[in-house]
Structure 1
Amino acid sequence: MFGNIGWGEFMVLLVAALVILGPERLPGAVSWVTKTMRQVRDYASGASQQLKDELGPEFDDLRKPLADLNELRGMSPRAVITKHLLDGDDSILTGNFDGKPAVNGSTPAEKPLMPESKPLAAGERPPVDPDAT
């Protein structure tokens, strides 16, 4: 319930509640909050159970896309693209089209994606691509 609140924040809230409500009203406020939280949790579980009862087997069909979305949250963008758009074939991302394993990560050793270029000599002008300008 307090998954995102650390001990320091919890102590600050407790001290603030003690100052605002006072020591005589604090126990009643705590019991009211716990009773209300328990009632909200019971309403939520009752609504979920009622939905399961009314939908029957279709409830699982409704839950599957939500489970898929939760699975995507933890994946990197590249993994999502590979899994869902490319059906697990990441050759377009790695440049490995012949099915041989890649060397040193993303590109195969025998077919680099871009040829290596040597630095220009002093006074040498770079090549110009008229279609790119």
Structure 2
Amino acid sequence: MFNDIGPLELVTIIVLAVLVFGPDKLPKMIQDVTRTIRKIRDFSESAKADIREELGPEFKDFEFEDLNPKTFIRKQLDNDELGLKEIRNGFDLKKEMAEVTDAVHGRDADTSSSSSSSSPAVSAGGTVDMTKKREKLAPDERPPFDADAT
């Protein structure tokens, strides 16, 4: 519950508690707070037990932590009944973005990649010809304008 509180923060909280409540009332306040926390935990556990009882035997494996979307998705991805790991591993976003960046900047893609380094060429009429390979542009030359792409 208090995993992210450091030792300096804990000492600061204790000093503030002593200053606010005084050394005489502080033990009584700590007892009241711990008693309240126990009551809240007991209430929470009884509510969970009541919900599980009402849901019936088909939800015996139900965990309330599964209601957290991150936990639910992580559990479903670990299940891999749909073959999602294969799809996720087959898609390399960094490689795809690098290829798009190279295409935009007019650089050739890696020769080791399986995708071709060709991109559509634009004819004089403004149509795209997918069969022509990209021609190397001079440093000061701009790529052809494609009205349909904008």
Mark yes or no: TM-score above 0.5. yes
> What secondary structure sits across from 1:127 in the alignment?
coil
Aligned to 2:30: 30
The CA deviation string for residues 93-127 of structure 1, in whole angstroms up to 9 with x for no partner, is 449xxxxxxxxx84794532654867632553422
Q: Is the 8 A contact 1:94 1:106 kept in 2?
A: yes
Bigger RCO (CA 8 Å, 6+ sep): 2
Is 2:144 the counterpart of 1:127? yes
C-alpha separation between the residues in 2 aligned to 1:12 and 1:42? Answer: 30
Q: Kindly tell me the number of residue pairs found equivalent between the two proteins.
A: 117
Q: Could you tell me the TM-score, scaled by structure 1's length?
A: 0.62
> Which is greater in Rg?
2
Q: Is the 8 A contact 1:51 1:59 kept in 2?
A: no
Which consecutive residues of structure 1, in runs of 5 or more, have no partner in the other structure? 96-104
Which consecutive residues of structure 2, in runs of 5 or more, have no partner in the other structure? 97-110, 120-133
- Coordinate RMSD, CA, aligned: 4.0
Deviation at 1:23, TM superposition (A): 0.3
Aligned to 2:125: none
Deviation at 1:32, TM superposition (A): 0.6
Decide whether aligned partners of structure 1 residues 125 and 34 sit closer, same or farther in structure 2, where only a CA change above 3 A counts.
closer
C-alpha separation between the residues in 2 aligned to 1:70 and 1:14? Answer: 35
Aligned to 1:19: 19
